[in-house]
Amino acid sequence: MIDIPSGLPAELVPLSWLLGVWEGTGLVEYEIGDEVRRHEFGQRVSFSHDGLPFLNYSSFTWLFGDAGAEADSATVPLVTETGYWRLSRPPTEADPGPGMLPGVGPRPFSTAASVETLRNASDGFDVEVSLVHPTGVTELYLGRVKGPRIDLATDAVMRTESAKEYSAATRLYGLVEGDLLWAWDIAALGQELRTHASGRLRRRD
């Protein structure tokens, strides 16, 4: 059973099972030519909201050091990413933007009944996820949420001149026995889309 926090915008109810701070471990296993790069990592993920119809997202990962290393060197920071998750729907005059322009009129899709009209043909909801990496990569994912499962695929990937080659990705998130499980496939470094990383996280807050 999924508890719905009070005061949650109606548009976020289909994504409400993501809310909270999650922590756990994962495994990178990526094949490049004849070489398989493999390592274990720790991860802390946060999903929150500010009363607006999107989730704030952040992820921080670290590599595990040697068991005999001193406490301050037992882990090594790996990568971070941040972004926003929301239901995909047509914009209305009541939505803010572009820029700092306020919306006009009452906020749309503010009731459960109105959000139900956004259901897609597969009885789920279309979603949009925007992610930014400090390494010069920005991803736009499109996908769907159906119950406690989210499937995503990149619609666009932008890279700065200093970023490593990275062209596409898919991600899968699911709630299994109270834990957040995820898998991430990428097309990068001249490789086609293939298995990259996965993790299992437990809610901490």
Tens of pLDDT, residues 161-193:
999 999 999 999 999 999 999 999 999 999 999
pLDDT value, residue 33: 82
pLDDT value, residue 69: 44
- The number of distinct structural domains making up the chain is 1
- Asked if residue 2 is part of any domain, the answer here is no
pLDDT value, residue 66: 58
Q: Is 18 helix (H, G, I), strand (E, B) or coil?
A: helix
pLDDT value, residue 165: 96
- Asked if residue 1 is part of any domain, the answer here is no
Identify the H or E element spanning 190.
none
Residues of 35-74 as b/e, b for ≥16 C-beta within 10 angstroms? eeeeeebbbbbbbebeeebbbebebbbbeeeeeeeeeeee
Q: Is the per-residue pLDDT at 57 higher than 80?
A: yes
Of 146, 140, 148, which Cα lies nearest the Cα of 168? Answer: 140
pLDDT value, residue 70: 46
Q: Which two tokens stand for residue 175?
A: 């709630």
Q: Which domain holds residue 63?
A: 10-203
Q: Is the per-residue pLDDT at 75 higher than 90?
A: no
- Asked if residue 105 is part of any domain, the answer here is yes
- Asked if residue 4 is part of any domain, the answer here is no
- CATH number at 180 reads 2.40.128.20
9-21 pLDDT tens trace: 999 999 999 999 9
